[in-house]
Chains A and B, each alone.
Chain A
Amino acid sequence: MTEGGIKHRVESGRDLQALEKKGLELLYPGRPRIAVAMASCGRAAGSGRIYESIGDELERRGLDASLVPAGCPGLCSREPLVTVLEPGKARIYYSGVQPADAGPLVSALAGGEVYQKRALGAEVEDRLVVTGRQIDLGPPPGNLGLLADLDFYRPQVRLATRNCGCINPFSIHEYAARGGYRALAEALAGDPSGIIAEIKKSGLRGRGGAGFPTGLKWEITAGSGHDEKYIICNGDEGDPGAYMDRSILEGDPHSVLEGMIIGAYCMGARHGIIYVRAEYPLAIKTVGHAIAQARELGLLGENILNSGLSFDVEVVMGAGAFVCGEETALIASIEGHPGEPRPRPPYPARQGLWGKPTCINNVETLANIPLIAGRGGDWYAGLGTAGSRGTKVFALVGKVKNSGLVEVPMGTTIGDIVLGAGGGPDGGRKLKAVQTGGPSGGCIPASLVDLPVDYESLTGAGTIMGSGGMVVMDESVCMVDMARYFMTFAAGESCGKCTPCREGTAEILDILDRITQGGGRPEDLDTLDELSRVVKDASLCGLGQTATNPVLSTLRYFRSEYEAHIKDKHCPAGVCRNLTVYRINPELCIGCGLCAEECPGGAILGRDDQPRVISQESCTRCGACYRICPQEAIFFTGRGMPGA
């Protein structure tokens, strides 16, 4: 997987061209190139075995082809994904590939054919976003549509994830062939303040959650007079359901490194740290390998590209605390203290790691830097909305057909992302809400599908951009239970330093637990509202300041659902078991007995073709009978509802 044979230091533009030339030979070899998506998502789907099976098959047939691992191209629900590129032909994407497909796939390749069974789409050109260059691959096969025409890819503009799935993440040459490190070379030849001006012009805002203007952060850090400064890449991605940072670190680590080196040049930092959570072992391995490669080539270390810049990067592993994504807690963690935040000011840009000026940028933010440095702030600002420029990667998960990573221009509507790219909920169910920003965000009801996704619109709707998680919920989701889930997360991850977050989130969780178990009281809603507002207002750090957004937004958009739980002891989605009673309508029941077979508790009474009855004593309210009944004769109602 790794490449050897790196001998020369890269010292000039010409050396970089040599790197690029070798990378182009690797990306477009004069023989077939097979790339298997082997990021964490692909590996979980079994791509490791597929990589081996294809390798074995190539060897068995004596077929001369290059087989490489690649990052994730985004469509995680269709993993394992494999791409095949033959000289002069379009690149073919295969999805849902199984080890048994290796044989027919390779034999199709040997015959110059497309393996139709798993073919997903074709790519006829490669666009190198950094340089604007376009490489034509060849015509598509007649019977296969273009990948770009798939619902999932149509609205996408892949900037931060430009190389994910295309290149071998262990190859610095392939990164260079896609225009990598060219922006760095240009940047080092120019004036740091000029690059900061371009980044300010681009309107890039922090992609980690808070949306602070990146150019301004760089300017402040650059202006903090000190001989020692640090740049930190925040890869402590902790939102349940968000994994774009992991994907970038696993699929294109050099883009983040290049962003950091440009940052070091602009701000005068000599040391960089990539803080990655320990739960991301593949990302840690990939980044570590990229650092070693860059060091070997002299792109890290002393006198980078003969510019006089000296800068090196190390990886620090997080120990599994959500709060360490917060800047000051992250710094405390690196310094070896417990991961707890401290009051700001002083901001890290003035007084950060070891008391020195420190710039902390998110992974996705840094991956955008080479593009802006290379193509200019105006080019980047041409995408997105007035207040939110460029693109954003969203992790589309939950009750949605095409789950995966979607990168779209800011201002794309919720509907275009969730219903368009995502294909909406599975099984014909209706969309109910979308939770954006993970546990720190809020839910957006289905009625707001036309809401454009940008920092201001989301804040106005009571949620946040956050790191870009989008959890899709259909009618089968109980919003009170959903809020309870996120409060469980927040209360469990609160470090406990400040009173409102420590005591408040736990108190809110207690109330939500009570409501979902049938003990809700009428005054609970006011208490929830007041507590949530104060925790948001009075907490020390971003964790507490956003922890109650799931409660506030569900109270705002789904208040009637809370009221049903409290007044009628009824969970309209049938999720809260203590409130739900299952019944069989004797007039619809045909006595098929499927429900009795499915019931894990033996709670379904009756036999032969007689209508069945549910024993309420034995029923665990799992809903298995409800889902299996072919006649829709089984229904549920609330414990406190008439007729229950």
Chain B
Amino acid sequence: MPEMIINGLAVNFRSGETVLQAALAGGIHIPALCHHPGLGHFGSCRLCLVEILAGGRPGLAASCSLPASEDLVVETGTERVVRARRVVLGLLLARCPDAKPLLELAENLGAVKFTPRPGDPGCILCGRCVRACRAVGANVIGFAWRGRDRRVAVPFDQPPADCLGCRACEQVCPVNVIKVVEDRGRIRIFPWQSEIEMAYCRNCGAAIGPGVQAGRLQKRFPVEGPLSGLCPACRRRFQAALAGGLVIQPT
């Protein structure tokens, strides 16, 4: 396996991996916020900066989007890295002074103090929800405006009709500002205000998932006859009982 040098240590990496992936696999911790292993490179929060000493353009680079390569030598704790990280964290904290994950990071890494300027309720604009919605949801979340006016938004700021209620956005948000409320057979996702009716098993009454998603599944992989509208557990039980009567029509 090829090797690169991080903090003076030889670290193995697989071809195609980033420096951040190689570091984590090698037990070297690099703080990161916008990075998510399932969502590809984005490089926006700039917290995972490392300093390239050799094998690349000297200077700071975001390790989450820096391809690991054999002659690369990087450091994760030089004065330059630490200074930049503290300023970046300080700037994020000025934006979201109450975000717990940021406060914890600041306690460990230190942060430069700037005048707090809370605007958007706690969002650090890492774009993980945007990318998750594009990857597994219905691509209804995006960025609006630019510069400091930038924010994460849904089209026309209206409750998005296409939202599947998959809750991927909630799951990937590093600062927990996306909230889901379950209430009488519906879920509401904030701040998008999408409202999705849940689907329930005809037989046992257990929740199957968001109705839109269940509907989409039914359209793509139709289940007809006595097996339709059942939760997976009930369906398997019925299936065994029907022994061979199952009709699946792949599209």
Which of A's residues lie within 8 Å of B, judged by CB? 321, 338, 342-343, 345, 491-500, 502-507, 510, 530-531, 533-534, 537-540
List of B residues within 8 angstroms of A500 by Cβ: 46, 84, 87-88, 91
Number of B residues with CB within 8 Å of any CB on chain A: 36
B87 pairs with A502, CB closer than 8 A: no
Which of B's residues lie within 8 Å of A, judged by CB? 41-47, 49, 59-60, 62, 65-67, 80, 83-84, 87-88, 91-92, 94-95, 112, 114-115, 124-125, 127, 143, 145-150
A493 contacts which of B125, B147, B150 (Cβ < 8 Å)?
Answer: B147
List of A residues within 8 angstroms of B127 by Cβ: 497
List of A residues within 8 angstroms of B112 by Cβ: 530
* Alpha-carbon distance A540/B46, docked complex (angstroms): 8
A507 pairs with B91, CB closer than 8 A: yes
List of B residues within 8 angstroms of A505 by Cβ: 147
B65 pairs with A539, CB closer than 8 A: no
State whether A496 and B87 are in contact (beta carbons under 8 Å apart), knowing that A342-B43, A507-B94, A540-B43 are contacts in the complex: no
A498 pairs with B45, CB closer than 8 A: yes
State whether A498 and B46 are in contact (beta carbons under 8 Å apart), knowing that A343-B62, A530-B87, A534-B83 are contacts in the complex: yes
* Alpha-carbon distance A530/B85, docked complex (angstroms): 12
B59 pairs with A537, CB closer than 8 A: yes
Q: Which of B42, B49, B125, B146 has the most CB of A within 10 A?
A: B146
* Alpha-carbon distance A140/B184, docked complex (angstroms): 94
Q: Which of B44, B49, B124 has the most CB of A within 10 A?
A: B44
State whether A538 and B87 are in contact (beta carbons under 8 Å apart), knowing that A496-B143, A496-B148, A502-B125 are contacts in the complex: yes
* Alpha-carbon distance A503/B46, docked complex (angstroms): 12
State whether A342 and B62 are in contact (beta carbons under 8 Å apart), knowing that A504-B87, A538-B88 are contacts in the complex: no
A497 contacts which of B44, B60, B149 (Cβ < 8 Å)?
Answer: B44
From residue B150, how far is it (CB to closest CB) to chain A in Å? 3
A494 contacts which of B84, B114, B143, B147 (Cβ < 8 Å)?
Answer: B147
> Which residue from chain B places its CB closest to the CB of A321 in the assembled complex?
B146
List of A residues within 8 angstroms of B46 by Cβ: 498-500, 538-540
A534 pairs with B94, CB closer than 8 A: no
List of A residues within 8 angstroms of B91 by Cβ: 499-500, 503-504, 507
State whether A502 and B150 are in contact (beta carbons under 8 Å apart), knowing that A496-B143, A530-B112 are contacts in the complex: yes
State whether A538 and B49 are in contact (beta carbons under 8 Å apart), knowing that A321-B146, A496-B149, A507-B114 are contacts in the complex: yes
B147 pairs with A496, CB closer than 8 A: yes
A503 pairs with B148, CB closer than 8 A: yes
Could you list 27 examples of A-B contacts with CB < 8 Å? A343-B43, A343-B62, A343-B66, A491-B147, A491-B148, A493-B147, A494-B148, A495-B146, A495-B147, A496-B125, A496-B148, A496-B149, A497-B150, A498-B46, A499-B46, A499-B47, A499-B88, A499-B91, A500-B46, A503-B94, A504-B87, A537-B59, A538-B46, A538-B60, A538-B87, A540-B44, A540-B46
* Alpha-carbon distance A281/B187, docked complex (angstroms): 50
B148 contacts which of A506, A534, A539, A540 (Cβ < 8 Å)?
Answer: A506
List of B residues within 8 angstroms of A507 by Cβ: 91, 94, 114-115
* Alpha-carbon distance A493/B149, docked complex (angstroms): 11
* Alpha-carbon distance A236/B44, docked complex (angstroms): 24
* Alpha-carbon distance A533/B80, docked complex (angstroms): 10
List of B residues within 8 angstroms of A338 by Cβ: 143
From residue A154, how far is it (CB to closest CB) to chain B in Å? 40
Q: Given A500-B46, A537-B80, list of 19 further CB < 8 A pairs?
A: A342-B43, A491-B148, A492-B147, A494-B147, A496-B147, A496-B148, A496-B149, A496-B150, A499-B91, A499-B124, A500-B88, A502-B147, A503-B95, A504-B91, A506-B147, A507-B114, A534-B88, A538-B88, A540-B46
* Alpha-carbon distance A119/B52, docked complex (angstroms): 60
A498 pairs with B67, CB closer than 8 A: no
B87 pairs with A534, CB closer than 8 A: yes
A538 contacts which of B42, B84, B95, B114 (Cβ < 8 Å)?
Answer: B84
A496 contacts which of B66, B84, B145 (Cβ < 8 Å)?
Answer: B145
Counting from the closest, the 8 A-B pairs by CB-CB distance are A496-B150, A343-B65, A503-B91, A343-B43, A534-B87, A506-B148, A538-B84, A494-B147
* Alpha-carbon distance A499/B123, docked complex (angstroms): 12
List of B residues within 8 angstroms of A345 by Cβ: 67
* Alpha-carbon distance A345/B62, docked complex (angstroms): 11
* Alpha-carbon distance A558/B59, docked complex (angstroms): 27
List of A residues within 8 angstroms of B148 by Cβ: 491, 494, 496, 502-503, 506
B83 pairs with A530, CB closer than 8 A: yes
List of B residues within 8 angstroms of A531 by Cβ: 87
List of B residues within 8 angstroms of A538 by Cβ: 46, 49, 60, 84, 87-88
From residue A194, how far is it (CB to closest CB) to chain B in Å? 30
